[in-house]
């Protein structure tokens, strides 16, 4: 198991991902895995605000749609280059996330989640109804593929696969640096107890707002990559079920862990694809499977494994600790009344 931990584990996973295109029989597998990588980037962002900061944001899919539409509209209607539009997608989501955070983060618990659910639905309605800007139900077509640094476009399935893999690795590295920094410790302190974090001198609103902005930037950039991969956008991308899919990826993999959202984003789509032969009944099988998984692994796959590992290590430390000899009181022969 040591091979699956730390830098060795990450290196092994990256090596497996690099050889994946050469062991699958056709491009369909590449397409499924490429989309999984894109949603894994968005799930990493959702995990930052929900898993590490304790704020259950239900507008994450809406911000992913904003990033996708920013790239789609800027490249098709205004002829921006793809990467300029991609950078703008992250910036637009960051600004809107800061404004949304100013209002929503004054609320806590379920009220915050309900408020962000409403924000996500408003984003969906704006995309569907504001036809003069978003093209409404017609959607955005003809989005260019990401530009290649040496000319042309990255439009082949294998090129897109490696591009999304590169962004996922970069996103995971940046996320690891964030959660292991003092800033990340502040996020976790807020999650563990807002009153205690504030008593320790952590600026509560500023910390939560920063976590919110960083998380929606991840969503916006994932949306930009989605636009460059699918090359067609419709209002359905902002529908709330996409947010709940991201939540499912996070819960199955392990909320509050770095690898959990990535594992869930890859595992769940492959599981649903493997049930395609059941056609309309596949969700009848997938739903109970998901419920059983969450009952027996309430911390997700990675979270449960980490909990068990921590318990084993604690038991080993307890066994290795020197036993304290019991000192018996000297017998004086006297008795108390």
The pair of structure tokens assigned to 31 is: 């397409």
Which residue, 18, 16, 52, is CA-closest to 260? 52
Model pTM score = 0.89
Identify whether the C-beta of residue 44 lies closer than 8 Å to the C-beta of residue 250. no
pLDDT (0 to 100) of residue 2:
53
Q: Residue 243: CB partners within 8 Å, gap ≥ 6?
A: 58, 59, 60, 61, 62, 120
Query: How many degrees, rounded to 5, is the angle at CA 99 between CA 63 and CA 228?
Result: 25
Show the low-confidence residues of the chain (pLDDT under 70).
1-5, 279, 322-337
CB-CB neighbours of 72 under 10 Å: 31
Mapped onto helix, strand or coil, the DSSP state of residue 136 is helix
pLDDT (0 to 100) of residue 31:
92
pLDDT (0 to 100) of residue 25:
87
- What share of residues in the chain are helix, strand, coil (percent, to 5)? 75, 0, 20
The per-residue DSSP string of 173-205 comes to HHHHHHHHSHHHHHHHHHHH-HHHHHHTT--HH
Burial 317-326 (b: 16+ CB within 10 A, else e): eeeeeeeeee
Burial of 33 from C-beta contacts in 10 A (0-12 / 13-18 / 19+): buried
């Amino acid at each position: 198991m040591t091979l699956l931990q730390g830098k060795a584990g990450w290196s092994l996973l990256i090596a497996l991902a690099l050889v994946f295109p050469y062991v699958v029989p056709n491009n369909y597998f590449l397409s499924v895995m490429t989309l999984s990588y894109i949603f894994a980037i968005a799930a990493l962002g959702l995990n930052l605000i929900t898993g590490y900061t304790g704020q259950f944001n239900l507008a994450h899919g809406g911000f992913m749609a904003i990033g996708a539409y920013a790239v789609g509209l800027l490249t098709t209607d205004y002829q921006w280059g793809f990467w300029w539009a991609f950078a703008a997608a992250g910036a637009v989501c960051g600004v809107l996330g800061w404004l949304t955070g100013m209002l929503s983060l004054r609320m806590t618990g379920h009220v915050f989640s309900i408020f962000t659910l409403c924000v996500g639905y408003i984003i969906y309605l704006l995309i569907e109804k504001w036809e003069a800007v978003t093209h409404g139900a017609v959607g955005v077509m003809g989005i260019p593929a990401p530009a290649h640094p040496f000319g042309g476009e990255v439009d082949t399935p294998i090129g897109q696969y490696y591009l999304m893999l590169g962004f996922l690795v970069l996103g995971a590295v940046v996320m690891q640096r964030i959660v292991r920094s003092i800033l990340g410790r502040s996020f976790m302190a807020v999650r563990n107890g807002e009153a205690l974090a504030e008593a320790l001198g952590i600026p509560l609103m500023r910390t939560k707002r920063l976590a919110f902005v960083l998380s929606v930037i991840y969503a916006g950039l994932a949306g930009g990559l989605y636009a460059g991969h699918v090359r067609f956008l419709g209002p359905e991308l902002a529908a709330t079920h996409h947010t709940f899919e991201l939540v499912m990826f996070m819960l199955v993999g392990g909320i509050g862990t770095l690898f959990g959202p990535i594992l869930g984003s890859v595992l769940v789509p492959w599981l649903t694809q493997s049930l395609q032969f059941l056609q309309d009944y596949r969700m009848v099988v997938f739903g109970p499977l998901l419920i059983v998984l969450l009952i027996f692994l309430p911390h997700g796959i990675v979270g449960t494994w980490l909990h068990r590992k921590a318990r084993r290590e604690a038991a080993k430390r307890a066994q290795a600790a020197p036993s304290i000899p019991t000192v018996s009181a000297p017998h004086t022969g006297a008795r108390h009344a």
